[in-house]
Amino acid sequence: MTDRPGLSKGEMEVARVLWSLGSASVRQVHEAFPPDREIDFATVQTYLRRLETKGYVTGEIQGRTRVYTPCVQPQSVIRESIHDFVDRLFGGETLPLVRQLIEEGDVSTDELAELRRLITRLEKQRKPEVQ
Partner DNA sequence: CTTGACCAAGTACAACTGTACGTGTAAAGT
Partner DNA sequence: ACTTTACACGTACAGTTGTACTTGGTCAAG
Residues of this chain that interact with its own copies (CB under 8 A) are 9, 12-13, 16, 78-79, 81-82, 85-86, 88-89, 91, 94-95, 97-104, 106-107, 109, 111-116, 118-120, 122-123, 126-127
**Binds DNA by CB under 7 A, chosen from 23, 66, 80, 97:** 66
Burial of 85 (0-12, 13-18, 19+ CB in 10 A): exposed
- Is residue 39 near DNA by the rule CB under 7 A? yes
Give the Cα separation of 17 and 24 in Å (integer).
Answer: 9
67 and 76 in contact (C-beta within 8 Å)?
no
Which residue from 61, 91, 95, 106 is in contact with DNA, where contact means CB under 7 A?
61
- Residue 24, interface with DNA (CB under 7 A)? no
3-state DSSP call for residue 20? helix
List the one residue from 15, 17, 19, 47 that touches DNA (CB under 7 A). 47
Pairing of strands 65-70, 24-25: antiparallel
∠ CA 33-19-31, nearest 5°, is: 20
Q: Which residues bind DNA (CB under 7 A)?
A: 5-11, 25-27, 39-43, 45-47, 59, 61, 64-66
